[in-house]
Amino acid sequence: MLHLSSRSKVHYTLSQTYGEGEVESLGLPEKIKQIEEEMKKTQINKKTEHHIGLLKAKLARLHEELEASTSKGGGPAFEIRKGGDATVVLIGLPSVGKSTILNRLTNAKSKVAAYAFTTLTVVPGILRLNGADIQILDLPGIISGASSGRGRGRRVLSVARNADLVLLVLDVFQPGQVQLLKNELHAMGIRIDQKPPDVVINRGSKGGLALTTSVKLTKLTPATVKGIVEAYGISNGGILVREDVTDEQLIDVLTGNRRYVSSLVVLNKVDLVNEQYLTAAKKQIGSDFVPISAEKGLNMDVLADRIWETLNFIRIYLKRPDGDADFEKPLILPAGSTLRDVCKKISPRFVEGAKYAFVSGSSVKFTGQRVSLDHIPADKDVVTIMR
The answer to whether 63 and 254 have CB atoms below 8 angstroms apart is no
pLDDT beyond 50 at 74: no
Pick the CATH number of 86-194+258-311 from 3.40.50.1980, 3.40.50.620, 3.40.50.300, 1.10.10.60: 3.40.50.300
Where exactly does CATH 3.10.20.30 map onto the chain?
313-386
pLDDT band at 271 (very low <50, low <70, confident <90, very high): very high
Nearest to 146 by CA among 155, 159, 134, 136: 155
The percent of the chain in helix, strand and coil, each rounded to the nearest 5, is 40, 20, 40
pLDDT at 115 over 80: no
Average pLDDT of the chain, as a whole number = 84
C-alpha angle with apex 170: 270 to 95, nearest 5 degrees? Answer: 95
According to DSSP, the β-strands at 331-334 and 290-291 are: unpaired
CATH 3.40.50.300 domain residues, the chain:
86-194+258-311
Determine whether domain 313-386 maps to CATH 3.40.50.11930. no
Query: How many percent of the chain have pLDDT more than 70?
Result: 83
The fraction of the chain above a pLDDT of 90, given in percent, is 59
CA-nearest of 291, 294, 289 to 105 is 294
Is the overall model pTM greater than 0.75, yes or no?
yes
Q: What is the pLDDT of residue 17?
A: 42
The pLDDT of residue 23 is: 45
pLDDT at 46: 74
Q: How far is CA 246 from CA 53, 197, 224, 230, in A?
A: 9, 9, 10, 16
Tens digit of pLDDT for each residue in 216-241?
A: 999 999 999 999 999 989 999 999 99
